[in-house]
A = this chain, B = another copy of it.
Amino acid sequence: MKIDVCFSPALYPVYHNPEAIVVVVDVFRATTTMAAAFGNGVRSIRPVATVEEAQAYKAKGWLVGAERNVKRCEFADFGNSPFDYTPEKVSGKDIVFTTTNGTRAITIARSAYRVVTGAFINLHAVAGYCLAYKRDVVVLCSGWQDKVNMEDTLFGGALADILVNTGLYGTGSDAAVIARDMWTNNKKDPAGYLELSEHIARLKANHLEDAVPYCLTLNLTDKVPELVVTEDGVLILR
Which A residues form the contact surface with B (CB < 8 A)?
Answer: 7-8, 10-11, 13-15, 144-150, 153, 171, 173-175, 177-178, 181-182, 185, 196-199
Q: Which B residues are CB-close (under 8 A) to A144?
A: 174
Cβ–Cβ contact A174 & B146, under 8 A: no
Residues of B within 8 A of A15 (CB): 147
Contact at A146–B8, with CB atoms within 8 Å?
no
With A177-B196, A181-B182 as contacts: A11 and B150 at CB distance below 8 Å: no
Partner of A14, one of B146, B171, B181, B198: B146
Bound: A10/B9 CA distance, A: 11
In chain B, what residue has the closest Cβ to A171?
A: B196
Q: Which of A13, A171, A181 has the most CB of B within 10 A?
A: A181
Contact between chains at A14 and B10 (CB < 8 Å):
yes
State whether A11 and B11 are in contact (beta carbons under 8 Å apart), knowing that A174-B147, A174-B198, A181-B182 are contacts in the complex: yes
With known contacts A7-B7, A197-B174, A14–B145 Cβ distance under 8 A:
yes
Given the complex of chains A and B, what is the CA–CA distance between A28 and B49 in angstroms? 39
- B7, B8, B145, B185: the one contacting A181 at CB < 8 Å is B185
A180 closest partner in B (C-beta): B196
A sample of 11 inter-chain contacts (CB < 8 A) reads A10-B13, A10-B14, A14-B146, A14-B147, A15-B147, A148-B174, A149-B174, A150-B177, A173-B198, A181-B182, A181-B185
Beta-carbon nearest neighbor of A144 in chain B:
B174
Report how far A9 CA is from B11 CA in the complex, Å: 10
The interface residues of chain A, by DSSP majority, are classed as helix
Return chain B residues, CB-CB under 8 Å to A197: 174, 177
Whether the pair B145, A174 counts as a contact (CB closer than 8 A) is no
Hey, which chain B residues are within 8 Å of A198, CB to CB? Answer: 173-174
Alpha-carbon separation in the docked complex, A198 to B198 (Å): 29
CB distance from A9 to the nearest CB of B (A): 10
CA distance in complex: A173, B173 (Å) = 23
Q: How far is the CA of A145 from the CA of B144 in the complex (A)?
A: 23
B146–A11 contact, CB under 8 A? Answer: yes
Q: Nearest chain-B residue to A193 (Cβ)?
A: B181
List residues of chain B with CB within 8 A of the CB of A182: 178, 181
Instruction: Say whether A173 contacts B148, CB under 8 Å.
Output: yes
